[in-house]
Structure 1
Amino acid sequence: MTQTLVPARVSPPGRILNRELEARGWTQKDLAEIMGRPHQTINGIINGNKQITPETAIELAEALGTSAEFWTNLEAKYRLHLAQKEVSGSPETREISRRSRLYSFAPVAEMIKRGWIQAADSIDVLEQEVCRFFEIDQIGDVPNLAVNCRQSENRDPEIQAQLAWMKRVEIVVRDQKLPTFDRAKLEAAIPEILALSSKAENVALVPDKLLSLGIHFAVVPHLGKTYLDGAAFYIESRPVIALTLRYKRIDNFWFTLMHELGHIFAGHKGSYLDNMDNLEVNQEETEANQLATNWLLNSHELSILVKTTAPYFSVEKIQKFALDQNRHPGILVGRLQKDKEIPYKNHTKFLVPVNKLLTPWVFN
């Protein structure tokens, strides 16, 4: 029957083995002969000069009626104990701890890749770079952001990436010189902004139009794990609209833009980080969504089109309806796809990319 041996504390395997021999009245030579091993091997284990390999653990288990796992675990724990005594508290382990804390605080590798901070071999310099970016005194301080991201002591990687993305947006828009924002002027300008959606090339005119209304604008590609499409918030009483162009299609651009404008138009005073695939369910997001939907396409006329045309939407009908609405056909196609009126594979030629039209406004 296999015995279960449990040492009370971390002990050298050789000491436990020697006790087993004494309990049986065996000598080292006896055990060596039983196992068919040289005497020097048994002596080396007992004196701590040799480690117990998996093969030796199996043989010891057979000879002593124990489990092989007992000897392998005993050896592993003892070697770990020795290593901890040797390196615990050393400069190397302290640096590992600091790097772990730093990489948990921010997406350091991606920030270096984007050029937001400089790479550094020294942990001191790297911490300084991260502190400089977030404008904080030390790692662990809460960054002072216009957007109130969810705060917790143990932030997950998504929230950490959102914090870094938001700080980057703040940095790139703070030098934009704008007139005073007037919500009434924005309300009057909504038809002018929408009129730009008739042609793809007009996307390039949108940023200057927003700036003329006192609205900051920038495109900052999303960081891994953020899955953001856009954001709306305020800096010193002026609204900011930031896009990621996660999806580069014309329909995504216009819906995200008008959704963020919807927050500002409706007078929402909060800060909004939006993933258009998974919007939070609350009154303000619902209101912004409804505004964007109604602005881009007349809902009543769209319902008539669907009722009289579905499920077969020809190129001609799509082009005619878009022309009547003074919208690019891609905006209609994107809506029909989202509403599952047509498959995502249909009419994709209208879903033109617009990212290159916004190159001057993209800040990696």
Structure 2
Amino acid sequence: MTSYIAQDASFDYAPRPGRILQRELDERSISQAQLAARTGLSTKHINLVIKGTAPLSPDFAVMLEQVLGTSAETWSRLDASYQTRQAREHKRKGLADHVDWANTFPRRVLIERAVISQTDTGAEVAEKLLKFFGVVSKKAFEKTWLEPQASYKRSQLHKIDGNLTALWLRLSELHAADPIRSAPPFDSAKLRLAAEAMPQLTLQPIKIAFREAQRLLLEAGVVLVFVPEVPDTRISGVSRWITGTPMIAVTSRYKSLDGLWFTILHEIAHVLFHPKRSTFVDHGLKADDDADSQELVANKFAATHLIPPAFNEALASATKPAEIRAIASELEVSPSIVAGQWAHRTQIWGGPIGKLRETVDLADALS
């Protein structure tokens, strides 16, 4: 006698278990009433299972194993697959309610960042967005990604798009996921040593320097990643703790060598001095616009690592590019770093000294 299901069968679709059960009964010329008698269950219950109105319980699966000879595990897998498919269908129908929410995200940005594909529309976009953010609904997205933004430390100079900020933060998490899993425990002493080594890295080509910075920070248990800026987020860097590991993510917002290294050191300071629960979203050299004490501490840390206080007087009196280069030579850092700090302190961003500020784009350098 041929069975419609084999022992330990696996299915690439999810048939209704009751439909398979009825075929098995028909093959054996067993009526629903007879199955009820053999199992001690009511005929009504057997009928409900066959119609799919009632689930095929583990107890019933064991009974079917004894009566029909097909393993309980097979029946249970059939029912679990069917119930999962039904749940997915129910969820898919509910995606229609999320289409308007999904449309608040710029489609071009989602395609560029590989969150969705060019052909995705409507519910497909909503489904991929929810999966990308690791949530099941718009409400869950707002609670997980938007509400915490109220406590982020960040400049308020510009109006910020909360959805796109969440998008960039999620991208940074995903970029950092693999190194975070293998990162050693955080070591503040090693992080301080790494910070001291950063200024000398500015003399190297940016690709080599950034990779070396990543290596030094990872030895201290800190993950450094680069994620290109998302429009309307105005983010130059972020520091946050993910599953006990600090992550620093930077953009190329200002495309300047001095701005990039200032941002990295600024975020290192947040990791060293501020609570693990805090997330700091910064936009670079103007991060003190908030007049926030923690931002000021991070700014001072970055500035003094790039230009030690002993050189403040020489920097203040410098008026020519040659003097900037001389300070850089003595410090063994790039003239771009000294020129950037000079510009920040004098608020003179152009002119001959301003031309010493080197332009860099990590997106090109690391590609």
Normalising by structure 1, report the TM-score: 0.64
- 1:253-332 aligned at under 5 Å gives the runs 253-269=260-276, 270-276=278-284, 277-279=286-288, 280-307=290-317, 309=318, 312-313=319-320, 315-332=321-338
User: Any idea what the Cα deviations from partners look like across 1:159-178, whole Å, max 9, x if unmatched?
Assistant: 11101110111111111122
Partner of 1:130: 129
Among 329, 342, 358, the residue aligned to 1:336: 342
Matched letter for residue 116 of structure 2: I
Distance in 1, Cα, partners of 2:95 & 2:127: 14
Distance in 2, Cα, partners of 1:110 & 1:241: 22
Among 153, 157, 161, the residue aligned to 1:158: 161
User: Any idea what the Cα deviations from partners look like across 1:20-55, whole Å, max 9, x if unmatched?
Assistant: xxxxxxxxxxxxxxxxxxxxxxxxxxxxxxxxxxxx
2:246 alignment partner, SS class: strand
Among 226, 231, 243, the residue aligned to 1:224: 231
Partner of 2:197: 192
Are 1:203 and 1:354, in contact at CA under 8 Å, matched by a contact in 2? no
- Cα separation, partners in 2 of 1:239 and 1:183, compared to 1, 3 Å: same
Are 2:168 and 2:229, in contact at CA under 8 Å, matched by a contact in 1? yes
- Cα separation, partners in 2 of 1:112 and 1:359, compared to 1, 3 Å: same
Distance in 2, Cα, partners of 1:157 & 1:146: 12
Are 1:146 and 1:235, in contact at CA under 8 Å, matched by a contact in 2? no
- 1:237-252 aligned at under 5 Å gives the runs 237-252=244-259
Q: Does 1:236 align with 2:239?
A: no
- Cα separation, partners in 2 of 1:148 and 1:98, compared to 1, 3 Å: closer
Are 1:199 and 1:327, in contact at CA under 8 Å, matched by a contact in 2? no
Equivalences, count: 259
Q: How far did 1:122 drift? A: 3.8
Normalising by structure 2, report the TM-score: 0.63
CA RMSD of aligned residues (A): 2.9
Q: How far did 1:320 drift? A: 1.1
Partner of 1:115: 114
Distance in 2, Cα, partners of 1:127 & 1:172: 22
Distance in 1, Cα, partners of 2:103 & 2:316: 51
- 1:16-55 aligned at under 5 Å gives the runs none
User: Any idea what the Cα deviations from partners look like across 1:208-264, whole Å, max 9, x if unmatched?
Assistant: 222222111111111111011000001111110000111121111111111001111
Q: How far did 1:318 drift? A: 1.4
Q: How far did 1:359 drift? A: 4.0
- 1:68-107 aligned at under 5 Å gives the runs 99-104=99-104, 106-107=105-106
- Cα separation, partners in 2 of 1:240 and 1:147, compared to 1, 3 Å: farther
Q: More deviation in 242-251 or 340-349?
A: 340-349
Bigger-Rg structure (1/2): 1
Partner of 1:82: none
Partner of 1:62: none
Matched letter for residue 103 of structure 1: N
Distance in 1, Cα, partners of 2:177 & 2:246: 12
Partner of 1:149: 149
Unpaired segments of 5 or more residues in structure 2?
A: 1-93, 152-158
Distance in 2, Cα, partners of 1:251 & 1:166: 23
- Cα separation, partners in 2 of 1:170 and 1:316, compared to 1, 3 Å: same
Q: Percent identity?
A: 22
Matched letter for residue 280 of structure 2: Y
Q: How far did 1:341 drift? A: 6.2
Matched letter for residue 299 of structure 2: N
Distance in 2, Cα, partners of 1:139 & 1:267: 31
Q: Does 1:169 align with 2:172?
A: yes
Q: How far did 1:200 drift? A: 4.4
1:234 alignment partner, SS class: strand
- Cα separation, partners in 2 of 1:121 and 1:249, compared to 1, 3 Å: closer
Are 2:287 and 2:295, in contact at CA under 8 Å, matched by a contact in 1? no
Partner of 1:209: 216
Matched letter for residue 285 of structure 1: E
Which structure shows the bigger proportion of residues in helix conformation?
A: 2
- Cα separation, partners in 2 of 1:212 and 1:340, compared to 1, 3 Å: same
- Cα separation, partners in 2 of 1:241 and 1:358, compared to 1, 3 Å: farther
Matched letter for residue 149 of structure 2: C
